Amino acid sequence: MNENHKRKVDTRVVVETPEGVDFQFVIAGPGTRAWAWLIDNLLKLGILAGVGILLSAVGVFADSSENFVAGIMSIIGFVMNWFYGSLFESWMNGQTPGKKSAGLRVVRTNGTPIDVTSAIGRNFLRTADMLPFCYTVGLISMLMTRRMQRLGDLVFDTMVIDERREWISRTGGLTANIEPLLRSECPRRFSVPERTLAVIERLFESDRIISDARREEIARPLSEALRKRLGYQDPAPDPRNPHTYFRTQGFRHTQFILRVLKTFADDPSGSKGNSKNSGTLMDRTTKKKERSERDSSYEENRQLAGLSSGEPGRES
């Protein structure tokens, strides 16, 4: 095992779902988490300052006692301190404004999205992590755990991942003879999350001994969800040659997700722009040699992430 692989293992966690799909997550370190924490606290201070200016503007400071004003500010400070992280992580799928700007996200250790209970619990235990000062307990806990979890993460089975990863283009053999989707065929969204593309790739890998019929059965729920997301409708049979249409109906879900992979794998946003990518999902280490040149970026929508991790997975 070379040195690069050793460093990679130290900072990444691979989670395998019951469907046999591997997701590799980059664990966020103390530095990036501290940066996100600083941004969140600056935002909190900005909100408190804004409220103070607003109270001053409406004349509250002039007409009310200092104790009343101090009470209002204390209540707002209490809510911000105890519920800021909980509310944002519940509402923004594991992110606060600070985490979002730093490219971080809180997920469960099996790769599934965080729930409300976990979001509230891990943030309430932040008080214990801060003891005796400057997050000493939390930092020690992070250094002693492989997933760099503070006490709140350990109790509620969560981890913080770094999503600022470079997207890696794919080999074209799988979709060499597949027609890409046209924008006119997809009246709704014209984007597919990188995680979904990784699931499609995994389904067609050569190391999976699976019949075409079974693959079609597995592809059906994903195909139906993608059709709904994209607004895609199967074209009507050609009256001049209906046999082609009915011959392909037996594997229409398989063919559709291959068209999705063909369309969005080389350009995940469905456009030909040039910008920096965020978010990728790596498969097994045997695919490392297949990496090719880097391509354009996209704005990832993760609403379909649960399709591949709806059940608790097991860690490789």
What total of structural domains would you count in the chain? 2
- Output the DSSP codes for 268-301: TTSS-------------GGGGGG-----------
pLDDT of amino acid 10: 53
pLDDT of amino acid 16: 73
pTM: 0.56
**Chain-centre distance for alpha carbon 64:** 47
Q: For residue 16, is it within any domain?
A: no
Please check whether residues 39 and 84 belong to one and the same domain.
yes
Look at residues 131, 162, 193 and tell me which one is the last residue of a structural domain: 162
Cα four-point dihedral sign 136, 139, 145, 149: positive
Please check whether residues 279 and 155 belong to one and the same domain.
no
pLDDT of amino acid 316: 39
* Residues making up the chain, counted from first to last: 316
State the amino acid at position 133 in one-letter form: F
Please check whether residues 84 and 140 belong to one and the same domain.
yes
Please check whether residues 141 and 230 belong to one and the same domain.
no
Q: For residue 3, is it within any domain?
A: no
pLDDT of amino acid 190: 86
Q: For residue 9, is it within any domain?
A: no
Please check whether residues 150 and 38 belong to one and the same domain.
yes
Please check whether residues 133 and 221 belong to one and the same domain.
no
Q: In 3D, which of 308, 311, 316, 302 has the Cα closest to residue 106?
A: 302
| Cβ atoms 262, 185 nearer than 8 A | no
Please check whether residues 59 and 141 belong to one and the same domain.
yes
Please check whether residues 126 and 37 belong to one and the same domain.
yes
pLDDT of amino acid 213: 84
Q: For residue 237, is it within any domain?
A: yes
Q: For residue 62, is it within any domain?
A: yes
- Output the DSSP codes for 156-220: TTEEEEE---------SSTTTTPPPPPGGG--S-----HHHHHHHHHHT-TT----HHHHHHHHH
| Cβ atoms 265, 197 nearer than 8 A | yes
Q: For residue 200, is it within any domain?
A: yes
Q: For residue 46, is it within any domain?
A: yes
Q: Tens place of pLDDT for every residue, the chain, 316 residues?
A: 444 444 444 577 877 766 566 677 889 989 999 999 999 999 999 998 888 888 777 765 555 566 777 788 889 889 998 999 999 999 998 999 999 999 999 999 988 889 999 999 999 999 999 998 888 999 999 999 989 999 999 999 999 998 875 444 454 567 778 888 988 889 988 888 877 887 888 788 765 667 888 888 888 999 999 999 999 988 777 667 666 655 667 788 888 999 998 888 755 444 433 333 333 333 333 333 343 333 333 334 344 444 444 444 444 3
- Does residue 16 sit in helix, strand or coil? strand
Please check whether residues 128 and 223 belong to one and the same domain.
no
Please check whether residues 118 and 246 belong to one and the same domain.
no
d(CA 55, CA 65): 12
d(CA 14, CA 16): 7
pLDDT of amino acid 275: 34
Please check whether residues 129 and 45 belong to one and the same domain.
yes
Q: For residue 283, is it within any domain?
A: yes
Please check whether residues 30 and 157 belong to one and the same domain.
yes
Q: Which domain holds residue 86?
A: 25-162
